Chain A
Amino acid sequence: MGFAKIAFGLVHLVPLLPLLGAMINGFLTYSGRKVPKGFTAFVACGSLFLAFLISVGTFLYVSGLPEESRELTVTLFPWIDSGSFKADVAFLIDPLSITLMLVVTGVGSLIHLYSVGYMSHDESFSRYFTYLNLFCFAMLTLIMGANVPMMFIGWEGVGLCSYLLIGFWFTDKEKATAGMKAFVVNRIGDFAFIVGFLLLYWTLQSSGAATVTFTEMRDAAPMLAGKTWNGVPVVMLVTLLFFVGATGKSAQIPLYVWLPDAMAGPTPVSALIHAATMVTAGVYMIGRTSFLYSMAPETRMIVSTIGFATAIFSALIAFAQNDIKKVLAYSTVSQLGFMFGAMGTGAYHAGIFHLVTHAFFKACLFLGSGSVIHAMGGEQDIQKMGGLRKYMPVTYKTFLIATLAIAGIFPLAGFFSKDEILWQTFNHYPWLWVVGVVSAAGTAIYMFRMVTLTFFGECRADEHTKHHLHESPASMTIPLVVLAALSIAGGFLGVPDSLGHLIGWEHSNLLEHWLEPVFVMPREHAMASHSTEYGLMAFSLAVAIVGCYAGYVLFSKRKDIPAALVARFPAIHRAMQNKFYVDEIYQFLFVNNLLRLNNFLAKFDLKVVDGIVNLVGFLTKVSAYISGAFDRIFVDGLVNLVGNAARWGGSALRRVQSGQIQTYLYYAVGGVLLVMLYRLL
């Protein structure tokens, strides 16, 4: 208990330690001094690992508290205090934020460790770790922020770090462009987010509850019921705007296009930012504002629909991708779709559960792919791999475990979390459940396609690459093993109560009960019976197993079937390969028009605005000249007049002071005479 209490006292250091690390490494990088890589790595990993330890202690401390008091706000100092708008630099410590803190610091530490090996040959080693630590700071601020402005700081901060890390090798124009694309697409979401926040604040203020902190907002939320804005319920509008923000950050339709391109960054970055943590920020945000979403069933329906649509859409694209990281990227988009699907049902714990398990196995997959790419000397095309399991046994085993987990094989993590989502969906939106199951099957197939092409069969790499094939160093394999272990064990955090009941483990859905106090649940929804649940579980497990097997067979022994399909429907295959031309459509519809608008605005700015500015400048000059003349002639004249009057008066009066006594005597006598005359007359 002593450790836990001390750790909770230091909880504000959780985001600050990575910031400190970023500052140390950043300033050392900036100073251009030669710093041993060991020191840089030690600072970066050490700061995050310390943060992880504190998070663990905080978890122990908070879990020791009674359930109703597991909501603590740590206020550091007042930040904005403007009228009724009061925001502190404060951290909200509750089960939700602790869960995410553990994931971010834990997985983050592993990925930092992995990066030490992965980036060891890079020139910008310390710059990389500066950005990575800065990202962790921003992500932890996002998670722990007790109010919307704090969250927004983190929200923008992770966007910035994402941009910096995607374009980490910025000398390559394509990679720099990918970073820019991510940034710009995120801006759209961020804009919606801040508009939603302002609308929410504005409505709350007009209801007399001007607040920006989550806990106070939650208590004030019932006041929003029935409030409308131009006939639209405010809650629905706000939740929709927030969801648009979430689609930007968490890569959902229609703003998902940046995430596949984001694979231009170093692979550990893809693992940390674009799989495990940052892209789940949208999910977290919906969980954090569950009190709003629970009041807006229409929005939840939209969220679920978009989520599952994204899930199946990106799963389809993933089929035809040959870049190992692109497959994983689309798989991430697909899994994020599952999370949103869960959030939309109102079963927020299911979404968060999948977020956690996904962080484990997707980080493992990405790091595994990084290990493969590292070994292949930068080659990312799975068509040119194969048979790697002989060369890299550790990577192969961990990768396979993570793949089984994501495919949803019992009893790995993905099974429980995905099954929870599907079960909840089945109860709320049965037709979306169908989409979900199809996507899950698709996930299993394309993941096994990738595994098969990468690790099984004959090696298709050229001789030179084959010669250099080797298992990665320990700093890379240790995180893989740990994450694979977590991918196995993570699922037991949320064993459904119905399953736990079978083996006499009551309340086995630990995560659900842990998170229960945080969420404001929507109205109770009729759930199907336990037997239905068992049936569905069995069905989805069967689908997953069949999918895995199909993925293995179709791309190893019976390669003729996919080839025949491709030959039969070349147009569809080409469309899938080209990601359904979404980028091109966006380019045509939005980007070109936007550029045209930009050019127009630039010309407008040059001609009209500059003209006006110049005119104003000219007018100012004229009026300044006039007022200058007035000043010179009139005001100065007046001042000089006063001065001269004093001078003339003085020079006239000084004659009186002749210095001769007798003159003074005359004045005195004259005065006496006057007095006398006055007395006489």
Chain B
Amino acid sequence: MPSLQDLAFLGISAFTLASAAGVAFSRKVLYSAFSLLGTFAGAAGLFVLLSSDFIAVTQVLIYVGGILVLIVFAVMLTNKIGDVKLSNQSVNYKVAVPFAAAIAILLISILTSGMWVQKDEAYTSMIVPIGNALLQDYLLPFEIVSIVLLGALVGAMVIVRREVK
């Protein structure tokens, strides 16, 4: 008898994979973008199942609220308004399918054949440990990442700005 937890995992992962397939196979770029919303949400659900509540929230905030909006903006900016045919055609799928399939099969076979150490899987809130870790053990990476983020913001602006003569 599968537990509620198992059912939730099955449902969420099925949803995630299905929307990911939508991203991968849909014909139009906007459909892909919307399917991506489902994938991000599914991933957030999987984080919750893995007791990472903070990551799940962050996922929803940044991916869904930030990156996805950015992507939709980019789609809009790079196509003429009124151009109905916002196609998202695929090429080379005859080559890509075997490649991707082979990668998937090999990954699965390698990962599942590993003898992973498994400890108890209690559900606790990870917010406090993450906060401590970020300001103690991971302080330097944290600061570096913030600088990288700043650099990325400035860089993005430099790249898209209009040349002032």
Contact = CB atoms under 8 A, between A and B. Distances in A.
A and B touch in the complex (CB under 8 A): yes
Interface of A: 662, 666, 669-670, 672-673, 676-677, 679-680
B92 A676 contact: no
Contacts of A673: 99, 102-103, 106
Contacts of B110: 676, 679-680
Closest 3 CB pairs of A and B: A676-B106, A669-B99, A673-B102
Nearest to A663: B92
Contacts, number: 20
A7 to B, nearest CB: 89
Nearest to B109: A680
Given A669-B103, A672-B103, 14 more contacts: A666-B95, A666-B99, A669-B99, A670-B99, A673-B99, A673-B102, A673-B103, A673-B106, A676-B103, A676-B106, A676-B107, A677-B106, A679-B110, A680-B106
A662 B92 contact: yes
A21 B68 CA distance: 105
Contacts of A670: 99
20 contacts: A662-B92, A666-B95, A666-B99, A669-B99, A669-B103, A670-B99, A672-B103, A673-B99, A673-B102, A673-B103, A673-B106, A676-B103, A676-B106, A676-B107, A676-B110, A677-B106, A679-B110, A680-B106, A680-B109, A680-B110
B117 to A, nearest CB: 20
Query: Main SS of the interface on chain B?
Result: helix
Contacts of A680: 106, 109-110
B34 to A, nearest CB: 24
Nearest to A676: B106
A672 to B, nearest CB: 7
A670 B98 CA distance: 11
Interface in B51-105: 92, 95, 99, 102-103
Contacts of A679: 110
The secondary structure that dominates the A interface is helix
A62 B109 CA distance: 115
Contacts of B109: 680
Interface in B111-155: none
B18 to A, nearest CB: 24
Contacts of A677: 106
A241 to B, nearest CB: 98
A662 to B, nearest CB: 7
A669 B103 CA distance: 8
A670 B99 CA distance: 8
Which of A666, A676, A680 has its CB near the most chain B CB atoms (within 10 A)? A676
A383 B92 CA distance: 131
Nearest to B99: A669
Contacts of B95: 666
Contacts of B102: 673
A680 to B, nearest CB: 7
Nearest to B95: A666
Nearest to A669: B99
B149 to A, nearest CB: 24
A328 to B, nearest CB: 107
A355 to B, nearest CB: 103
A677 to B, nearest CB: 7
B51 to A, nearest CB: 31
A97 to B, nearest CB: 93
A299 to B, nearest CB: 106
A672 B99 CA distance: 10
Contacts of B92: 662
Nearest to A672: B103
A579 B95 CA distance: 121
A97 B95 CA distance: 108
A662 B93 CA distance: 12
A667 to B, nearest CB: 11
A662 B92 CA distance: 10
Nearest to B91: A662
Nearest to A662: B92
Nearest to A675: B106
**Most chain B beta-carbon contacts within 10 A, residue among A669, A670, A677:** A669
B112 to A, nearest CB: 12
Nearest to A677: B106
A680 B102 CA distance: 13
Nearest to B106: A676
Contacts of A662: 92
Nearest to A679: B110
A679 B95 CA distance: 23
Contacts of A666: 95, 99
A505 B48 CA distance: 145
A659 to B, nearest CB: 15
B55 to A, nearest CB: 27
B105 to A, nearest CB: 10
B4 to A, nearest CB: 36
Contacts of A676: 103, 106-107, 110
A45 B95 CA distance: 109
A679 B110 CA distance: 9
A666 B107 CA distance: 17
Contacts of B106: 673, 676-677, 680
Interface string B18-60: 0000000000000000000000000000000000000000000
B91 to A, nearest CB: 8
Contacts of A672: 103
Nearest to B105: A676
B165 to A, nearest CB: 30
A680 B110 CA distance: 8
Contacts of B107: 676
Contacts of B103: 669, 672-673, 676
A679 B111 CA distance: 12
A660 to B, nearest CB: 10
A337 to B, nearest CB: 110
Nearest to B100: A669
A285 to B, nearest CB: 97
Contacts of B99: 666, 669-670, 673
B111 to A, nearest CB: 11
A245 B99 CA distance: 105
A662 B106 CA distance: 21
B87 to A, nearest CB: 17
B104 to A, nearest CB: 11
A255 B95 CA distance: 110
A662 B95 CA distance: 11
A412 B99 CA distance: 131
A672 B110 CA distance: 13
Contacts of A669: 99, 103
**Which of A670, A673, A679 has the most chain B CB atoms inside 10 A of its CB?**
A673
A168 B107 CA distance: 112
A666 B103 CA distance: 12
Q: Which of B92, B103, B106, B109 has the most CB of A within 10 A?
A: B106
A669 B95 CA distance: 12
A448 to B, nearest CB: 120
B64 to A, nearest CB: 27
Nearest to A673: B102
A283 to B, nearest CB: 102
A662 B109 CA distance: 26
A672 B92 CA distance: 19
B146 to A, nearest CB: 29
A676 B92 CA distance: 23
A679 B107 CA distance: 11
A677 B106 CA distance: 8
B90 to A, nearest CB: 11
B110 to A, nearest CB: 7
A386 to B, nearest CB: 118
Nearest to B92: A662
A670 B92 CA distance: 15
